[in-house]
């Protein structure tokens, strides 16, 4: 049955973006992974009853958000709650300070990324996040930001060049740290795409 491969393809296509989306709600990627696995198996079981969906991505994001929140509730997890004190409108945003503690050992690297990011314009930062962290295609970015595909492409390209100039990627040992740091930056300082749907 070819349908079975189709589910695996669907999983592989949307897994990175669902993972990063999920980390806004869950502290541990492990928890997000389990929830995503569970969701896809359930979709398979219900495949006869599923509605015809126009925007698969939006459908999956809504579904996974619901599952993650339900899971948190049932597990009695309250980890990411107290950021309400920071006046965040979106109550699902994780607390930046809480997570960053883990990466404190090498502060010079953290500041390096902060610095590299500071050379980006807000527009570049936003589009790079959408493209690489949220894993959106150029078409989607263009329509979401109300610009042409070509413009989106150019902005991202310029941003990448700036980043690479200031990040000197050759220090490979520190890459993990850099990654985690950027991950946190994106995670904490932006509203998520879900506002779009």
Partner 1 sequence: MNYIKYTPEDFLSDDSFLNYCMHKNQNDVHFWTKWQEANPQKIPDVRKAKELYNILNGNLDLQVKEDQKIFKTLFQQHLSTNSSNRKVKEIVKTSSVYKSVYILIGVAAAIVGAFFIFPWSSENQGSNQNLPTLYSQVSQPGEKKFFQLPDGSQITLNSGSSIRVVKGFNNDRREILLEGEAYFEITHNPKKPFIIHTKMMDIKVLGTVFNVKAYPADPESETSLISGSVEITLKDRNNKKVILRPHEKITLSAEMDDPSAGNSVTHSDAKKLEKAPGVNISRLDSTVIETPWMRNQLLFANQSFERIAVELERNYNVRFEFEDNEIRNYRYTATFEKKTITQILEALKLSRSFDYKIMDGKTIVVK
Question: To the nearest whole angstrom, how small is the minimum distance from the Cβ of residue 99 to partner 1?
Answer: 12
Q: Which residues contact 147 (CB under 8 A, 6 or more apart)?
A: 155
Cβ proximity to partner 1: between 28 and 97 the closer is 28
**CA angle at 94 for the pair 93 and 95, rounded to the nearest 5°:** 120
Question: To the nearest whole angstrom, how small is the minimum distance from the Cβ of residue 87 to partner 1?
Answer: 25
Question: To the nearest whole angstrom, how small is the minimum distance from the Cβ of residue 65 to partner 1?
Answer: 18
Burial class (CB in 10 A: 0-12, 13-18, 19+), 2: exposed
Cβ proximity to partner 1: between 38 and 66 the closer is 38
Q: Which residues contact 130 (CB under 8 A, 6 or more apart)?
A: 136, 140, 141, 144, 145, 193
Question: To the nearest whole angstrom, how small is the minimum distance from the Cβ of residue 41 to partner 1?
Answer: 5
Question: To the nearest whole angstrom, how small is the minimum distance from the Cβ of residue 160 to partner 1?
Answer: 4
Helix (H) or strand (E) segment spanning residue 156: helix 149-167
Q: What is the DSSP letter of 98?
A: H
Q: Where do contacts with partner 1 occur on this chain (CB under 8 A)?
A: 4, 7-8, 11-13, 15-16, 19-20, 23, 28-30, 33-34, 37-38, 40-41, 44-45, 75, 113, 128, 132-133, 135, 137-138, 153, 156-157, 160-161, 163-164, 167, 169, 172, 175-176, 178-180, 182-183, 186-187
Cβ proximity to partner 1: between 2 and 87 the closer is 2
What residue has token string 């495949």?
47
The answer to whether 128 touches 117, Cβ cutoff 8 Å, is no
Listed in sequence order, the DSSP H helices in 23-148 are 29-45, 56-75, 96-100, 107-118, 122-128, 138-145
Cβ proximity to partner 1: between 56 and 84 the closer is 56
Cβ proximity to partner 1: between 19 and 58 the closer is 19
Cβ proximity to partner 1: between 142 and 182 the closer is 182
């Amino acid at each position: 049955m070819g349908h079975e491969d189709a589910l695996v393809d669907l999983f592989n296509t949307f897994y990175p973006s669902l993972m990063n989306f999920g980390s806004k709600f869950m502290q541990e990627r492990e928890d997000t992974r389990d929830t995503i696995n569970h969701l896809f198996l359930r979709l398979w079981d219900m495949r006869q009853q599923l509605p015809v969906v126009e925007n698969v991505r939006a459908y999956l994001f809504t579904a996974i958000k619901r599952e993650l929140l339900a899971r948190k509730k049932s597990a009695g997890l309250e980890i990411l709650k107290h950021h309400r004190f920071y006046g965040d409108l979106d109550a699902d945003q994780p607390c930046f300070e809480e997570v960053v503690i883990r990466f404190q050992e090498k502060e010079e690297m953290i500041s390096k990324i902060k610095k590299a990011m500071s050379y980006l314009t807000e527009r570049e930062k936003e589009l790079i996040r959408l493209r690489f962290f949220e894993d959106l295609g150029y078409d989607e970015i263009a329509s979401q930001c109300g610009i042409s595909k070509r413009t989106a492409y150019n902005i991202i390209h310029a941003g990448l060049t700036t980043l690479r100039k200031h990040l000197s990627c050759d220090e490979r040992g520190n890459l993990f740290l850099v990654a985690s740091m950027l991950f946190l930056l994106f995670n904490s300082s932006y509203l998520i795409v879900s506002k779009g749907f």
